[in-house]
Amino acid sequence: MSTHHHPTDLPDDPVRRSLVMAAGLGALAALPAGAATAGGAEQAPATRPAAAAARGRGALGARLQGVQHFGITVQNMDRAYAFYTEVLGGTEIMRDGDFQGDVIQNTLLLNEEIEARQRGVNPVSLGVPDLRGGAQRLDVRFIQFDNVVIELLQYRDSSQPQGSGNSFAPPQAFTSPAFPKSMHVCFYVREDVDFNQFVHDLEAEAARRGMHNVRANRIVRTGTEEQRRQAPLDTLTNRITSGKSDGWSLIYAKGPEGEQLEFVQVRGQAKRVFGEAIEARGRVVAATRS
């Protein structure tokens, strides 16, 4: 493995590009059959360059192709990888790593370095690794689910081998999803699955693997961790039964890295609303690509 990667290595590598593009197309899987191909194979070859040029100058939204992936920066790569593949059942697309050098440092962290310089503080205090000098390295793994890709990223000390050990920086102390800039990943739970049992089994399976920090909220107030664990099974799911979100069931949980996760089921009115939105989106996409 080369010890010096440039960010331009990523899109220019044909294998990686094809894998990542294929994964990103999962976001279009929910669209009507004609939407994904409109303006493509059905279009006369002579009109394709003109149509592509028009899209390149059109509204920004018309130039997009769906959500490609969500990224999670992790403290321990092996632990996070085991959770998203072995517990939640994702499939690895690819992995790469040992990224370092001036170009990748600027690509990922230039704004934070400028802020550190303006504030007169050590960049490390703002969570900035030294990829430029090679003291730290970046590793990534892409994991495919039915309709989304999760990217795991770890910034490790160069002395730590890939996939093991901890991140160069400690995990953030604040985990509330109410903080601005917080993010979460939401997973669908199939309609024929008992949601409460799913949440119970998720915690149990994670604990069996030593991931005791995988914890789901409850819909009742508890004062201690023991009370949270002992809460009745029917308190594990928030089922919305009125208003515009009727049919939506959800729970928030922490992943093994302290990351914010959400699990949902969508039935009834909520399912119809989302279905109609997908159909409407498909019509818009088809119109912009014709």
In a domain, 50, yes or no: no
Question: At which of 171, 193, 216 does a domain end?
Answer: 171
Mean pLDDT by 10 residues, the chain (290 residues): 38 39 40 36 61 73 82 94 97 94 91 91 90 94 94 94 85 81 91 94 96 94 93 94 91 94 94 91 80
Residue 51 within a domain: no
Q: What is the pLDDT of residue 46?
A: 62
In which residue are the tokens 């989106």 written? 281
Residue 192 and residue 103 in one domain: no
Q: Domain ends where: 171, 200, 224?
A: 171
Rounded CA separation 4/134 (Å):
9
Q: In this predicted structure, what is the pLDDT of residue 231?
A: 94
In a domain, 248, yes or no: yes
**pLDDT at residue 29, as a whole number:** 38
For residue 163, the one-letter residue type is: G
Whether residue 237 sits in one domain with residue 197? yes
Supply the pLDDT for residue 84: 97
Are 166 and 184 within one domain?
no
**Is residue 42 one of the residues assigned to a domain?**
no
For residue 43, the model assigns a pLDDT of: 54
> Is residue 59 one of the residues assigned to a domain?
no
Q: Decide if 247 is inside a domain.
A: yes
Closest residue by Cα to residue 29 from 57, 63, 67: 67
Instruction: Say whether both 184 and 128 belong to one domain.
Output: no
- Triad 139, 81, 171: Cα angle to 5°: 70
**Domain membership flag for residue 56:** no
Contact call for residues 253 and 263 (beta carbons, < 8 A): yes
Q: Residue 62 domain-assigned?
A: no
Number of domains observed in the structure of the chain: 2
Q: Do 236 and 202 share a structural domain?
A: yes
Domain boundary among 171, 189, 222: 171
Model confidence, pTM: 0.78
pLDDT for 262 = 96
pLDDT at position 289, please? Answer: 73
Give me the domain span that covers residue 81: 1-30+69-171
